[in-house]
Chains A and B, each alone.
Chain A
Amino acid sequence: MGRYVARRLLQMIPVFIGTTLLIFLMVYSLPGDPVRALWGDRPVDPVALNQLRHEYWFDRPVLLQYWHYISNVFTGNFGTSFVTGRKVTDVIGESFPVTLRLALVAFAIEIVIGLALGLLSGLNRGKIADKFVLGLTLLLISVPVFVLGYIFQTVFGNQLGWVTPTVQDSNDISQLILPGVVLGSLSFAYVARLSRTSIAENMRADYIRTAVAKGLPRRRVIGVHLLRNSLIPVVTFLGTDLGALMGGAIVTEGIFNVHGIGNELYRSINQSDNATVVGIVTVLVIIYLVTSLVVDLLYAALDPRIRYV
């Protein structure tokens, strides 16, 4: 087990270098001169332009730029944005906790409501409750996130007045509930459907019949034997989804004015702000890697047949 974890952690190093290089090259190859764009429609001052280009290494070959960047990263310096002049670590340090909170709210909603609905419909396969859940999740899957966002904003914010239409303080978790519901809606529909299928299937499995035949109480049959085995596909999905929730919150963050990582990423890609993009993506990559490791380890806990050596 320990050796397995160590090996997985070591594997992260080449993945880390590969992704940062790829992202760096992609942002570099975006068309247009990012430094020139600082002046907008106004005529540019060539002296200041060249000075900025030199200061931020834009006038060197791209691989040299990357080397300059990555060697700084290893000394703990994630660079400075040429647009805002702020340290990338500061920017991430501010916006990351916001997105993390938002993602966790969405994640919690996803697990609690998604699993409850999945259990409800899986245990009542073919009955009215099952049909209702299937209909509801179909609706959620087919409605794009931004449509749902605007509907919720108008209904709960403007008409009912339960909440303010946008988030006034991005650090207040109670205000993040509405955006969290919107963000998590698609995934919770998936969770409900995944768990429903797998529960419905396992209901007919031999070990459930055995457990029932042994005379175990229904709560124990469902809670321990059925759920534990049915959760494997759900956990796989949830693991990758946590990363997706963080990187993919751009639209939701925009609608509700949440100042998280999504918006920062959108701005920095738009302005070819290489240091910020790579910094944020690196954090997201690390989250993906760690969650997938956690998921793999959870398999062993859920399914006694799986062992890591």
Chain B
Amino acid sequence: MRGAKSAKWVAIAGVVALAATACGGNSSSGNDGKAKAVDPSGVFSYQSNEPQHPIQPANVMETGGGRITDALFSGLADYNPKSGKLENLVAQSIEQNGPSDYTIKVKKGWTFHNGEPVTAHSFVDAWNWGADTKNAQQNASWFSDIQGYSDVHPDKGSPKTDKMSGLTTPDDYTIKVKLANPAPYWTYKLGYSAFYPLPKAFYSDPKKYGQEPVGNGPYEFVKWNHNKDFLTKTYAKYAGPKPKNGGIDFKFYTTSEAAYQDAVSNNLDVLDQVAPTDMAKYHQDLGKRAVDAPQNAIQTIAVAEYAPAIKNVKDHAKFIEGLSMAIDRATITKTVLAGSRTPATGFVPPAVDGYKANACGEACSYNPAKAKQLVQEADGANASISILYNADGGHKEWVTAVCANITQNTGVKCDGDAKADFKTALDVRTKKKVQSLYRSGWVQDYPLNANFLKDLYGSTAAGNEGGYSNKDFDKLAAKADKAATLEESVKLYQEAEAALYKDMPAIPLWYYKTNAGYSENVTNVSYDTFGKPVFTDVEVYKK
């Protein structure tokens, strides 16, 4: 989920444009004028989809299961919904003792929904279990910074031990962490679901637990009606900030169009994301209840450095820069994408720590004359390029628009290279058979600039599928990873980002937005930088 795999679309060729959509003004249970009373035990419904896996924090990656896991669990720290800054939650304190040593004190008084107290062991045992090769957890690599990871998760063969040597618990409420290599921003990973604690009941039967999860978060599990909904209620003994509602009903929708219809007619309370087909009218339909919030995710066109079409161009950096300047981001986001994106001015979205305004500068602003000049200087005017994308993600429209821009302004021939679905496009990318360019999306794992840079453009990064290599960037990133403090590291990564614009590993296009809304039954709905509603803040009106 945290990779920007766009919501799947049902391939519907057209949409009936019925002029009148009855909404807004229709009978709203007759409370007009008077302020409606809030019911602190009211339950609200939320647009979700059937989790793809059993609920196990170290194995959850897609949106459906991810949102549910976030409601059921509380980690040591969490990100501030607005600023994205890391704030302690179950942790009393997280202290850095040395470049790669941390001491985490766990608050007393926290309990799992079955009454078991949350201790240092609840965390450490869960991390060891998640990292263990034998359990084949999808998020295992999140633990790779910790010393001893390669013993429980060797590249080949079975693990030597089931405990990472870097994790120790001097007492029941203290965790000492030793990292294999210094990573000043390691603490930011603690807010991710892989680092959630697990109760003892989990280990005896992980399979059963996955169907009836027991967490330590604000909401406890009630019932999972497969393919229908996932019911939760507020955990009465929750030790964190008390939720302002009585629970969440995660309602599974097969299409986001159906969810939208339900939200407009007040049959669904909180939307996760408005369907692309409804983007043009949702402000009108929902009025003040429409939400338009920034999200820390970016869409780029990445360059396949190995492709002949790119290699044959004389000055590769100038060529890509020229293409980038030929794209009229402001118009495309406004028209083709119906205002659902914000033009990008760099590789790092605004609400991320380390964001630098206008980092990309001239190279990301629309300038047809300069674009043409650069492409000609690069000796690439006769080149022909294509943009690989997956046809099931709603990308066709903007790829066509971007290509039209490029051809019109620079004369470079540009075509969309559609693959049937995301899986197929991904296969072409991992096998390094991309013709020249490919669309690439990235949603933050944690709101820190390193996540948008090192994991995508480092020479050896697994996310670097285009084969990009920039020695300056690698050097600065390595230096930033060894920095003594978080601030210093963030600053060094800003320098590293600047180095990227010299030869452009990708063309930043736009940042995502959370386009959502809510029904007349709820109020105080806001969304964090992940695009997730702040569940505990939602208030439900009395019926």
| Majority SS at the chain A contact face | helix
The A36-91 residues at the B interface (CB cut-off 8 A) are: 36-48, 51-52, 55, 83-86, 90-91
A271 x B423 contact (CB < 8 A)? yes
Of the listed stretches A100-108, A165-173, A189-197, chain B binds A165-173
CB pair A33–B423 under 8 Å, yes or no, is yes
* Known A31-B427, A45-B138, A159-B22: A39·B261 in contact at CB below 8 Å: no
B16 touches A42 (CB 8 A): no
B residues near A45, Cβ cutoff 8 Å: 138, 140-141
List which A248-302 residues lie within 8 A (CB) of chain B: 250-251, 253-259, 263-264, 266, 270-272
Render B1-31 as a binary contact track against A, CB cut-off 8 A, 1 for contact. 1111100101010111010111100100000
A259 CB contacts on chain B under 8 angstroms: 227-228, 252, 254
Q: Which of B162-170, B336-344, B355-363, B455-463 contacts A (4 or more CB under 8 A)?
A: B455-463
Q: A41-B4, A85-B53 are in contact. Are A170 and B228 (CB under 8 A)?
A: yes
Q: Identify which of A38, A85, A154, A264 contacts B61 (C-beta below 8 A).
A: A38
B440 interface contact, C-beta 8 A: yes
Q: Report whether over half of chain B's contact residues are helix, strand or loop; otherwise say mixed.
A: loop
Interface code B395-407, partner A: CB below 8 Å = 1, 0 otherwise? 0000000000000
Question: Across the two chains, which residue of chain B brings its CB closest to A95?
Answer: B227
Closest to B455 in A: A43
CA of A156 to CA of B455, assembled, Å: 50
Instruction: Report the minimum CB–CB distance from A160 to chain B (whole Å).
Output: 8
B257 near A: Cβ within 8 Å?
yes
Closest CB-CB distance, A273 to chain B, in whole Å?
A: 10
Q: Using A48-B137, A170-B228, A254-B254 as known contacts, say yes or no to A150 and B153 having CB atoms under 8 A apart.
A: no
Complex CA–CA separation, A127 to B228 (angstroms): 49
Nearest Cβ on chain A to B216's Cβ, whole angstroms = 23
B265 engages A32 (CB within 8 Å) = no
A255 touches B140 (CB 8 A): no
Q: Kindly state the separation between the CA atoms of A253 and B16 in the bound complex, as whole angstroms.
A: 17
Question: Is the C-beta of B543 less than 8 angstroms from some C-beta in chain A?
Answer: no
Q: Would you call A164 and B421 a contact (CB within 8 A)?
A: no
Q: Which residues on the A side are within 8 Å of B366 (C-beta)?
A: none
Is residue B422 contacting chain A, with contact meaning CB distance below 8 A? yes
Measured CB to CB, the closest approach of chain B to A122, in angstroms, equals 33
Known contacts A32-B427, A51-B136, A254-B10; A40/B262 CB under 8 A: no
Q: Which residues of A contact B462 (CB under 8 A)?
A: 43-44
Contact across chains for B440 and A36 when beta carbons are under 8 A apart? no
B:109-145 near A, CB below 8 Å: 133, 136-138, 140-141
Closest to B18 in A: A154
Question: Which of B62, B141, B259, B261 is in CB contact (< 8 Å) with A158?
Answer: B261
| B420 in the interface (beta carbon within 8 A) | yes
Whether the Cβ atoms of B133 and A256 lie closer than 8 Å is: no
User: Which residues from B are CB-within-8-Å of A256?
Assistant: 258
Query: B284 near A: Cβ within 8 Å?
Result: no
| In the complex with contacts A40-B62, A41-B440, A94-B257 CB distance below 8 A | no
Contact, CB under 8 Å: A52 / B26: no
Q: Provide the bound-state CA to CA distance between A159 and B19, in Å.
A: 12
Nearest B residue to A38 via CB reads: B138
Instruction: Judge whether B12 and A48 touch: CB under 8 Å.
Output: no
Question: Are A41 and B441 in touch, CB under 8 angstroms?
Answer: yes
| Complexed CA–CA distance, A151 and B421 (Å) | 29
CB-CB under 8 A for A255 and B441, given A40-B422, A95-B227: no
Q: How long is the Cα–Cα vector from A246 to B183 in the complex, in angstroms?
A: 55
Q: Are B2 and A42 in contact (CB under 8 A)?
A: yes
A158 touches B265 (CB 8 A): yes
Verify B262–A41 contact, CB threshold 8 A.
Answer: no
A175 CB to nearest chain B CB (Å): 11
Residues of B with C-beta under 8 A to A55: 136
- Kindly provide the distance from the CB of B353 to the nearest chain A CB, expressed in whole angstroms: 20
Residue in B50, B267, B461 whose CB lies within 8 Å of A164: B267
A residues less than 8 Å from B227 (CB atoms) = 94-95, 170, 259, 263-264
Say yes or no for B426: interface residue by CB 8 A criterion: yes
Write the A234-254 contact mask toward B (1 if CB under 8 angstroms, else 0).
000000000000000011011
State whether A47 touches B133 (Cβ < 8 A).
yes
The contact of B427 among A36, A43, A153, A154, by CB within 8 Å, is: A36
The distance in angstroms between the C-alpha atoms of A46 and B157, with both chains bound, is 12
* Contact, CB under 8 Å: A251 / B12: yes
* Contact-residue size bin, chain A (C-beta under 8 Å from the other chain): 35 or more
User: When chains A and B are docked, how far (Å) is the Cα of A30 from the Cα of B421?
Assistant: 10
A94 to B229, CA, bound (A): 13
Q: Which residues of A lie under 8 Å from residue B423 when comparing CB positions?
A: 30-34, 36-37, 270-272
> Do A161 and B26 have beta carbons less than 8 Å apart?
yes
CA distance A150 to B21 in the complex (A): 12
Residues of the A chain whose Cβ atoms lie less than 8 Å from the Cβ of B8: 270
* Bound-complex Cα distance A44 to B252 (A): 27
Interface residue B414 (Cβ < 8 Å from any Cβ of A)? no
The distance in angstroms between the C-alpha atoms of A190 and B26, with both chains bound, is 38
A128 at the interface (CB under 8 A from B): no
- Check A39 against B61 for contact (C-beta < 8 Å): yes
The answer for the CA separation of A32 and B429 in the assembled complex, in Å, is: 10
- A202-217 residues at the B interface, CB under 8 angstroms: none
Asked if B81 is an interface residue, CB under 8 A from chain A, the answer is no
Residue B335 CB within 8 A of the other chain: no
Nearest B residue to A159 via CB reads B22
B217 to chain A, nearest CB (A): 22
Q: Is the CB of B138 within 8 A of A48?
A: yes
The reply to whether B258 and A166 form a contact with Cβ atoms under 8 Å apart is yes
On chain B, the residues within 8 Å of A30 by CB distance are 423-424
Q: Chain A residues near B312: list those with CB within 8 A.
A: none
Does A4 count as interface, using CB distance less than 8 angstroms? no
Contact indicator B255/A257 (Cβ below 8 Å): yes
Q: How far is the CA of A230 from the CA of B257 in the complex (A)?
A: 43
A32 vs B4: C-alpha distance when bound (angstroms): 18
The listed residue with most B CB atoms (<10 A of its CB), out of A46, A47, A52, A255, is: A47
Find the A residue at minimum CB distance from B159.
A47
Contact of B262 among A146, A164, A250, A264 (CB under 8 A): A164
Contact B255 A255 (CB under 8 A): yes
A48 CA to B210 CA, complexed, in Å: 18
B54 interfacial by beta-carbon distance below 8 Å? yes
A13 adjacent to chain B (CB < 8 Å): no
Give me 11 other A-B pairs in contact (C-beta within 8 A), A37-B426, A159-B22, A165-B258 excluded: A31-B423, A32-B426, A34-B423, A47-B155, A146-B12, A159-B20, A161-B265, A166-B262, A251-B10, A254-B10, A270-B392
Q: List 18 A-B contacts (CB under 8 A).
A: A30-B424, A37-B422, A38-B61, A41-B443, A42-B61, A43-B462, A45-B138, A47-B136, A85-B207, A86-B226, A91-B226, A147-B14, A154-B16, A154-B18, A158-B23, A165-B264, A166-B262, A258-B254
State the B residues within 8 Å of A (CB): 1-5, 8, 10, 12, 14-16, 18, 20-23, 26, 50-54, 61-62, 133, 136-138, 140-141, 153-155, 207, 210, 226-228, 252-255, 257-259, 261-262, 264-265, 267, 392, 419-427, 430, 440-443, 455, 461-463
